[in-house]
């Protein structure tokens, strides 16, 4: 069987990834992804984190990921995957709990540990993730 991603999406392992060239807040970003049948990326593995970080270096760009906190410290993935502290890739000093309303997760490609918590109203680029379509 052939693994196939929609035009404009990039394959890796079992998923397709879409890197936006426009910016919007977290809620709108998630809505935009879901409108394409996908969701903001859920980073489950070290391989996914390394690969994404190495392959798509767009220096200085912050991308939303599917990580959000209801309140400080209570991180949840958009697809309900349990948040795993040992598979988290926060930048040094992050997630910061001051100010306490930085409840959305973003990532950049500058370093290996590159997640940051920011205000959900911030306009950022986004990474959508789609389970890959298998053509038989």
Q: How far apart are CA 72 and CA 68, in angstroms?
A: 10
Q: What is the pLDDT of residue 56?
A: 58
Report whether the peptide linkage leading into residue 93 is cis, meaning its omega lies within 30 degrees of zero: no
Cα 89 from chain centre: 11
Contact between residue 104 and residue 64 where contact means Cβ atoms under 8 Å apart: yes
Q: Which residue has the tokens 């890959």?
A: 132
Give the pLDDT score at 96. Answer: 84
CA distance 4 to 24: 28
**5: phi > 0 → left, psi -120 to 50 → alpha, else beta; which?**
beta
Do 89 and 115 touch, CB atoms closer than 8 A? Answer: yes
Strand, coil or helix: what is 28?
Answer: helix
pLDDT of residue 52: 63
Preceding amide of 99 cis, omega within 30: yes
**Domain residue limits at 69:** 2-135
Record the pTM: 0.86
CB neighbour list of residue 48: distance below 8 Å, 6 or more residues apart? 12, 13
CATH code for the domain in which residue 96 is found = 3.10.100.10
Q: Based on the structure, what is the number of domains in the chain?
A: 1
In this predicted model, what pLDDT tens digit does every residue of 87-115 receive, in sequence order? 899 988 899 877 778 999 998 876 678 89
Whole-number percent of the chain with pLDDT over 90? 42
How far is residue 2's CA from residue 46's CA, in Å, rounded to a whole number?
A: 25
Once rounded to an integer, what is the mean pLDDT over residues 75-93? 88
């Amino acid at each position: 069987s052939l693994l196939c991603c929609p035009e404009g999406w990039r394959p890796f392992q079992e998923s397709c990834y879409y890197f936006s060239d426009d910016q919007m807040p977290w809620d709108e970003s998630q809505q935009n992804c879901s409108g394409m049948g996908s969701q903001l990326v859920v980073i489950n593995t070290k391989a996914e984190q390394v690969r994404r970080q190495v392959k798509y270096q767009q220096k200085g760009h912050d991308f939303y990921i599917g990580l959000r906190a209801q309140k400080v410290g209570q991180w949840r993935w958009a697809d309900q995957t349990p948040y795993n502290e040992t598979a988290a890739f926060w930048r040094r000093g992050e997630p910061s709990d001051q100010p306490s309303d930085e409840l959305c997760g973003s990532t950049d490609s500058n370093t290996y540990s590159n997640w940051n918590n920011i205000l959900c109203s911030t306009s950022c680029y986004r990474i959508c993730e789609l389970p890959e379509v298998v053509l038989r």
